[in-house]
Structure 1
Amino acid sequence: MSFTLDVIAERDDSASQRKEADMVPTMMLVADGSQDTHRMEALCDLADAVASRNEAPVATAFEPGQELNNTIESIDGPLVAVPAYLAGGDLASAELFSEVDLDNRFDACATSPLGAVPSIVGDIARRLDEAGWQQGDGVVLAADGSPDQEGRQEVTAVARMLSRRVHSPVQVAYVNAWAPSVADAVERLRRHGQQRVAVAAWQLLPSADDEQLRELDVTSVTTPLWPAGLVVDTLLARHRAAAARLAA
């Protein structure tokens, strides 16, 4: 009898594991939306747009502190934590994402932030053109900064990719961290004879720093990437790749 019960238990466990493996992992979007209401509204719109594709259940963690842990604990079944920000483009969100703890979840993993993706860099190049950038104008890629070397390297990779797209050098500068500042980078280009300088904002969402960029004496400043359908496409692609790793 004991042997029979053990076999039944093993079968039940196996069936449960198969059922869990067949589940589409919940996509938990993580970003700091506590800075202002406009940013939070943009994040909620992004989450709604992702959910409307009906590819996966969507949960959000847009507030720092205990809300992040509560969200993780509330999700049953497999989970993929997806940064809803750009690598090196959002210090507050990067700090929040560093608090994501999935060590006790065998059925969960995290993806990296969006970075040097050709479609995203191509969209920034398009925004430069629409904002009035002309061949020969200086270009500054304005990033918020990153707490880690990997994030800074990703911003550098974006600048190189953007430079190839627009056939012009692209100077990396920072809004809130390290040097050079965006203003210093603009001034350096002016000293080298480039009177027209455009700022490519390495931003996924509106932020409190937008006004600071608009106040610069530059030819143009690009708008944040969202809302753009490619943002949703890329986030879902990250989720699909992570879900495949969990199912392997």
Structure 2
Amino acid sequence: MTPELILVAHGTRNPLGLATITEIASAVAGHVGTVRTAFVDVLGPNPREVLENTANSVVVVPAFLASGYHVNADLPARVAESGHTDVTITPALGPDPILAEIMRGRLAEAGWTPGDPVVMAAAGSSDPAARAELVHAAELLAELVGEVHLGFVATGAPGVADVVARVNDPRRRVFIASYLLAPGVFHTKLGHCGAHAVTEPLGAHPDLVALLAHRFTAPVGIR
């Protein structure tokens, strides 16, 4: 029997952010069939609620850029609470060279040129393993664009604004590469960090959609 597919995102009250998640899920569904959406925070339905109404086997793909608390603890807890016993949870999306390529494209759209320093802005995490993944993501981007510094917009130090201030130089333009999935409070904050320009979030980029679709069709479970 074909498994049911659930895309799990963080959740946001920002209309543009919610529309982006809806757009991503719809685009992924164009590749793999029906995709249901659940959220681990802010709004519902949460994964437990979706799974309680699901009898088939399930593949759950967390649309997160690193494996922090929501992926490692919150999501498995909601799955356990549902009582569903045939659920495969795939790893988080990042780090991945595909995401670095998308960021490079977003930088070009924002006017970045070789030689301009980049601050990769991530939400951040208190989980050491997740922070290591974010460091790796910044290294992947640096392989493509050169000088990259990592900053956090929500959890952990250094903050994005502090990193921008540190690398700022009147002779060079500093660009922020948004390592965020969708518009929302975190992305809005980046516009006030003193950089020359801020890229758009990763959003419903075709390559990100393809990455998600591959996770659904060739799942490697972590549970």
Which TM bucket (shorter chain)? 0.7 to 0.9
Match of 1:28 in 2: 6
| Deviates further, 226-235 or 143-152 | 143-152
* Number of residues of Structure 1 aligned to a counterpart in Structure 2: 219
Within 5 Å, which residues of 2 pair with 1:72-221? 72-87=51-66, 96-97=74-75, 99-102=77-80, 104-166=83-145, 168-190=146-168, 195-221=172-198
Secondary structure of 2:26's partner?
Answer: helix
Looking at secondary structure, tell me which structure has more helix per residue.
1
CA distance in 1, matches of 2:44, 2:65: 23
CA contact (8 A) 1:91 1:144 kept: no
Note closer, same or farther for the CA distance 1:24–1:234 as it changes in structure 2 (3 Å cut).
Answer: same
Tell me whether 1:71 sits opposite 2:50 in the alignment: yes
Is 1:57 the counterpart of 2:34? The answer is yes
Matches of 1:182 and 1:38, distance apart in 2: 22
Q: Is the CA contact (8 Å cut-off) linking 1:82 and 1:110 kept in structure 2?
A: yes
Q: Residue 240 in 1 paired to residue 217 in 2?
A: yes
Per-residue deviation, 1:27: 1.3
- Aligned-residue CA RMSD (Å): 2.7
Aligned-partner residue type, residue 207 of structure 1: G
CA deviation profile, 1:151-179 (whole Å, cap 9, x unmatched): 2111111111111111x221110001111
User: Separation in 1 of the partners of 2:38 and 2:148?
Assistant: 34
Structure 1 residue 93 displacement after superposition: 7.8
Length-normalised TM-score, structure 2: 0.86
CA radius of gyration, larger in? 1
Runs of at least 4 residues of structure 1 off by over 6 A? 90-95
| RCO comparison, higher one (Cα < 8 Å, 6+) | 2
Return 5+ residue gaps in structure 2 as ranges. none
**Which amino acid in 2 is paired with 1:201?**
S
The answer to whether the 8 A contact 2:27-2:209 is kept is yes
TM-score, scaled to structure 1: 0.78
The C-alpha deviation readout for 1:152-210, integer Å capped at 9, x for no partner, is: 111111111111111x221110001111100110111126x763111111011111122
